[in-house]
Chain A
């Protein structure tokens, strides 16, 4: 699907009109390269980036972040909606195929170690120890035992009232969102059956395929879950898991599509407004500390210590030095 050829000159040319702004924290973003598309999702894990297009996933070596090198690809039978990486292992939610566990060897060879069909369409996946959680349009939240990665097994399902769209784990907790507005907290240490220990209705209408959840373990001493949906950031304070609270939603200048976190900094793919960097150290008062106007609407984002990968509506990925 992609040749993953970095094209610094092209990117620089494409971003000739791009504007980087630094607002207060000394953070600037500047274009240093690009990855040819089309690319839909990007995740970064250590020295690797994983990018998807349709049913295909490609591993990239980002040892030199401005010039990623393709390592290998794998194509599933169904479209990939969700992706989480853990070391060399990648977990994918592949629609009616279910959940796949993929490993990329150092030479780039991809091996499907195992998979399990979920009842409907798998939309996202997250992992905590030997348990994977997958959102599925039919069954809700599926709990998958991955102790034996070659034979993952769905052990139970938790009904979510709406259409389950995303799940994220942190420590022994999991957080899930459904469409249109549900938000749920689970304690994975208390199972059989797994039930939400807390839930809320979000103020953000989750009316898109691409709702996303991420966790900030320490935002000014609080644990915060960020839900990106409906062009907004909905922040939940989950410091007391049984009593999550809803903070005021944060509206970025554009149309928030996806986020990537670095500590309490949220890099937001903000649609027509490019990338916004939002400081969530005080989640009650988020503030934009940097922004970068991309050459096309930004719809995906991933971040490393040194660069930001921004998926554009054109399918190309812009690489920004931070």
Chain B
């Protein structure tokens, strides 16, 4: 008992010592890709310059790293066979273009990497066997980013239907089997779990029975589970703490939906792109930005939504705003990358390598399409920002650095020469970048 109390005190002290800039606990961090300014953060790097460490991560996974204190967590699906090389660029929507099933046995593994050294503190295998569902050749069987509260890391592997909590020593606290469900076109899963005030929320849109479900983070007990009328989707749900309430916002193909913390539908919105949604909604104070946009779709919307909605808040024909929608752009949405609200502006990185800037409050265009680089194969990682700079990581492994603000200005390019689709994490003066096979900690003044 005394030991328990002692460890609890240690844990409490540990948590108290972890300040916001020390952690990046979920996909895109706590501010939708925006990190607190820190002059120690790097703005230039290469495979050797400003590299504190780089380590190989086996398998294939496009999930992002998350950070808490001295812990960097990553997931992977490690095949015993040879998997096809992920394709760069925009995927064709035809069924034969991309859908695949690996027959090789995989291991679904969580890694705890030491922030200081890059050494693997522990790795925990949650399941082994052949994948039960298909995936797109550009997807992976471990694309969901874990989330942590400083006590445990929570993981969701949609490809095997497993939700799990693992403590910081690597002990599996609980697991739940929610079923491995085939996505609409067999392109696999990617929506990351959401953690908020003791609730772990997952969304799984599939061809069988789409659902949103919540679990008690401590025990893993199911709290609620509601069906969704969806077919496929890869967008991570977000929590929106606005002036009215806290709500869970999800971007679906058919509808954007918001739920209260008990799973009750608060409002919904139609008009999304006619391919499943990938971008994660962006919360910025009293607006949440929701978007989707397959380039071959006639609808590629961005909606800026105000708090307080109920029922159907969809725009009527020819409307561009209403009581609950502050602004709407019909053809602005990107396909895979999420938006970035930074300073006074809302930035859109199109997968095809263009950056656009709009006034975050009004939706007025500040600058139109600016081609980031004629050489880039495409962009899948979401943009991030700090120190007045915007960072755009291309699938080629090049990160373009731009000046934030009303003028488009490219400042430089940092190359790691390996495919990037995972969005990096930012914490403790470091950038944690995951490439196809490696994990880097980029920090000023480091050299290898």
| Residues of chain A at the chain B interface (Cβ within 8 Å) | 96, 119-121, 137-140, 154, 157, 159, 161-163, 178-181, 207-209
Contact = CB atoms under 8 A, between A and B. Distances in A.
A96 B371 CA distance: 20
A154 B374 contact: yes
B377 A138 contact: yes
A208 B352 CA distance: 19
Given A138-B353, A162-B296, A180-B296, A121 B90 contact: yes
Contacts of B318: none
Given A119-B89, A138-B378, A159-B371, 13 more contacts: A119-B374, A119-B376, A120-B88, A120-B377, A121-B90, A121-B92, A137-B295, A138-B376, A161-B331, A162-B296, A180-B296, A208-B94, A209-B97
15 contacts: A96-B89, A119-B376, A119-B378, A120-B378, A137-B89, A137-B92, A137-B295, A138-B352, A154-B374, A157-B374, A159-B354, A159-B371, A162-B297, A179-B295, A207-B296
Ranked nearest first, the 5 interchain pairs of A and B with the lowest CB-CB distance are A179-B296, A120-B89, A163-B296, A137-B90, A180-B298
Interface size bracket, B side: 20 to 34
Given A119-B377, A138-B377, A209-B94, A96 B352 contact: no
B295 A163 contact: yes
B369 interface: yes
B296 A138 contact: no
Given A120-B378, A139-B374, A180-B298, A96 B92 contact: no
A29 B375 CA distance: 48
Contacts of A179: 295-296
A156 to B, nearest CB: 8
Contacts of B297: 162, 180
Contacts of B94: 208-209
Interface string B358-399: 000000000001010011111000000000000000000000
Nearest to B373: A119
Contacts of B89: 96, 119-121, 137-138
B137 to A, nearest CB: 12
Q: Secondary structure at chain A's binding surface: helix, strand, loop or mixed?
A: loop
Contact of A119 (B97, B369, B375): B375
B92 to A, nearest CB: 6
A96 B87 CA distance: 9
B274 to A, nearest CB: 9
Contacts of A208: 94
Contacts of A161: 331
A179 B353 CA distance: 18
Nearest to A208: B94
Contacts of A163: 90, 295-296
A208 B295 CA distance: 13
A315 B377 CA distance: 32
A153 to B, nearest CB: 12
Nearest to B90: A137
Contacts of A137: 89-90, 92, 295, 352
A54 to B, nearest CB: 12
Contacts of B331: 161
Given A138-B89, A138-B377, A120 B296 contact: no
A201 B97 CA distance: 26
A159 B355 CA distance: 13
A140 B295 CA distance: 11
A140 B94 CA distance: 19
Contacts of B375: 119
B329 to A, nearest CB: 13
Interface in B375-425: 375-378
A119 B375 CA distance: 6
Contacts of B371: 157, 159
Given A180-B296, A181-B298, A209 B92 contact: yes
Contacts of B87: 96
Among B97, B352, B353, B377, chain A packs the most CB atoms within 10 A around the CB of: B352
Contacts of B354: 159
Query: Which of B92, B97, B331 is most buried by chain A, counting CB atoms within 10 A of its CB?
Result: B92
Nearest to B94: A209
Interface string B16-57: 000000000000000000000000000000000000000000
A163 B294 CA distance: 9
A31 B354 CA distance: 51
A137 to B, nearest CB: 4
Contacts of A140: 352
Nearest to A81: B92
Interface in B103-126: none
Contacts of A138: 89-90, 351-353, 376-378
Interface in B313-355: 331, 351-354
A139 B374 CA distance: 8
Contacts of B88: 96, 120
Contacts of A119: 89, 353, 374-378
A240 to B, nearest CB: 26
A154 B371 CA distance: 15
Interface in B288-311: 295-298
Contacts of A154: 374
Interface string B137-162: 00000000000000000000000000
A195 to B, nearest CB: 13
Contacts of A209: 92, 94, 97
